[in-house]
A and B are shown apart, each in its own frame.
Chain A
């Protein structure tokens, strides 16, 4: 994962609340089995008219938004489906930061996994950023500093944001979370042993772990290949 320390860039504004991941990447584009190829379909149904031409009314199609790397949006950004494709599309489009009053939980976790910094600011700060973006006719730049946990512009805007130290570390260092967890292999194995040995275990399946797999499989047809 690309580390995120500090980023200066152009802001694109999407003043809509509850932007769901179905809008960020519509379902008809979820059939790819790769992590790439999603930038062209980012916000597809908003970005393009039914005939495939760009809709000039859509905020991200405005000339000033070209090359923007910071997205400013309304509250509850990324709600709905868990599709990580939404984050892959935003990243591939060149976005490094999304700033909003709030984010949906799964979307926020997906951002942390992909080096996309999701910055939560309070209502007044978000309103001020939108106002400055409008006054600058969309030619508005800010600096987002993860080490300092601040968003600033060169005209006096200054906002501090909070982020869990775990997520901050992950982003700052571009960590591979799986590699990190595998360092706890001893603890995971010990946890499993304890639960198998416990009479009944703490959850339904714990006691089943010791049962040979063939004992609790149901017969199935058509194993493997799909028609």
Chain B
């Protein structure tokens, strides 16, 4: 039999049928459909208008995360439009029989944090959600990708999706990262290398020693940002770390069924000799802590670098884009990134708000104080992460250092809730996008790892975490 990639094994196992067209898409079966309040109301309305039902409510799970306030959960949502959207999700979940983890639930959280946390996310699955960061779930060896609202409606109605088979790309991280270099730095370095459209049309499989050495949290960070390289999805073959993470999770198989599942999951890896449409290799040992300087995640450099000169870019389009980005970011070419003053810190998002991220940030801030004039926020990725952090005393570490300790949600990653930057404010953020206005109109976002963001909050400026005492 022809050697197959991990992607091909999962894809082939989910093809319901191939449409009779020369370049035809395939009808793909979906094992898990995650739903949130922002991209679903129009889909449910579409079902109602057409008199359709949700075909497999038991394979559909909803939570409210994008627009929810992160303050006191006992208070009502003051933003009337946000409240209406969250209310619509609850009403739709009731009407169509879908399980909902709402704001009152101790299991509520960012959809890409709670999927794995509940054990809903499992190797070999096809997982979709109306959110581009669905690629996160690929860390478990699932094929997981973001879809639009019309496709959300399609999956609700049919449990399937019509998809063109994407191409494959192997991204191999050889060697071991240096101390202070995290999963976030690896993925930012990749995006810096191949650009924000570098993997368009492809599903990335991450391989290599550096990837194997990552925790599940780290693998989720890497897969999460696959979309920032343009990829349809990112995935990592499951191994003992994946199985250990899933064991005992509420929705993971139990006992004998878990043992059988693990035996099945072990076959989910690319065969020797399987070929990819594209290949990229990076030496993890040569990656330093990364920080973005521009207005997309590909505009990134080592913390020891300086703000680039637009004149140094090859094409007119690139030069123009860099000039525009530097004007927006209020940065001069040649300015060292280290030492750049910041006003805000955001520790949160589906990229970097899991327990390991909070632990790594807490190690940096323990016994210290946030710099004068800096406002710093910790938004755990889920209520379970929050509870775990509190059990470990991390909330006290952050609070004593002057950080605000919040309830979970997407929060300032996209600023749909009241957590936003004021115009002109510069933020050290652990999230995934530094687009213009992403965290608030006129706000300036620098993406980095949790430890780097935490250290920036203490120092009041960007620092090289490798020299943090």
Contact = CB atoms under 8 A, between A and B. Distances in A.
Interface of A: 15-18, 20, 22-23, 26-28, 30-35, 45, 50, 74-76, 79-85, 87, 102, 104-106, 109-110, 113-114, 164-166, 169, 177-178, 181-182, 184, 187-188, 191-192, 195, 200, 202-209, 213, 216-218, 220-227
Contacts of B93: 224
Interface of B: 10, 13-14, 16-17, 19, 21-25, 27, 29, 31-32, 38-39, 41-42, 45, 50, 52, 55, 58-59, 64, 66-67, 73-77, 79, 81-88, 90, 93-94, 99-107, 118, 122-126, 130-132, 146-151, 153-154, 157-160, 162, 164, 166, 196-197, 200-201, 227, 230, 232, 250-251, 253, 257, 260-261, 264-265, 296, 298, 317-318, 320-321, 324, 414-416, 423, 433, 435-438, 441-442
Contact of A33 (B59, B84, B146): B84
Given A26-B441, A188-B160, A84 B148 contact: yes
Given A74-B317, A202-B14, A216-B251, 14 more contacts: A22-B414, A26-B441, A31-B82, A75-B197, A79-B296, A80-B132, A80-B227, A82-B148, A84-B42, A166-B19, A220-B107, A226-B64, A226-B102, A226-B103
Contacts of B52: 178
A140 to B, nearest CB: 20
Contacts, number: 260
A50 to B, nearest CB: 7
A22 B123 contact: no
A177 B159 contact: no
A188 B159 contact: yes
B81 A32 contact: yes
B136 to A, nearest CB: 13
Contacts of B436: 22-23, 45
B197 A102 contact: yes
A205 B122 contact: yes
User: What are the 10 closest A-B residue pairs judged by CB atoms, nearest first?
Assistant: A222-B104, A204-B122, A113-B150, A33-B41, A84-B148, A31-B81, A110-B148, A76-B197, A202-B13, A218-B250
Contacts of A113: 148, 150-151
B135 to A, nearest CB: 11
Nearest to B80: A31
A226 B265 contact: no
Contact of B151 (A109, A188, A203, A206): A109
A208 to B, nearest CB: 7
B122 A203 contact: yes
A104 B230 contact: yes
B200 A109 contact: no
Nearest to B161: A181
B148 A106 contact: yes
A191 to B, nearest CB: 5
Given A18-B197, A84-B149, A166-B21, A31 B132 contact: no
24 contacts: A18-B321, A20-B433, A27-B414, A30-B66, A31-B67, A31-B82, A45-B441, A80-B227, A82-B131, A82-B132, A84-B42, A84-B149, A105-B201, A177-B150, A177-B162, A184-B16, A188-B158, A203-B122, A205-B32, A213-B58, A218-B250, A220-B99, A227-B77, A227-B103
A208 B200 contact: no
Contacts of A164: 21, 23, 25, 164
Contacts of B39: 82-84
Given A82-B130, A181-B27, A204-B123, A30 B104 contact: no
A191 B435 contact: no
B150 A205 contact: no
Contacts of A165: 21-24
Contacts of B58: 209, 213
Contacts of B153: 178
B27 A184 contact: yes
A119 B193 CA distance: 27
B133 to A, nearest CB: 9
B321 to A, nearest CB: 5
A79 to B, nearest CB: 6
B102 A222 contact: yes
Given A80-B433, A105-B201, A208-B253, A22 B73 contact: no
Given A31-B38, A105-B201, A178 B164 contact: no
Contacts of B14: 202-203
B244 to A, nearest CB: 15
Nearest to B126: A203
A212 to B, nearest CB: 9
Given A83-B39, A104-B200, A182-B157, A222 B105 contact: yes
A188 B16 contact: yes
Contacts of A178: 50, 52, 153-154, 157-158
A205 B24 contact: no
A204 B261 contact: yes
Nearest to A216: B251
A80 B132 CA distance: 7
Contacts of A114: 150
Contacts of A226: 64, 77, 83, 86-87, 90, 102-104
B147 A218 contact: no
A188 B29 CA distance: 8
Contacts of B123: 204
A138 B83 CA distance: 43
Contacts of A227: 73-77, 103-104
A191 B75 contact: no
B261 A87 contact: no
A191 B16 contact: yes
Contacts of A75: 197, 317
A197 to B, nearest CB: 15
Which of B93, B298, B317 has the most CB atoms of chain A within a 10 A radius of its CB?
B317
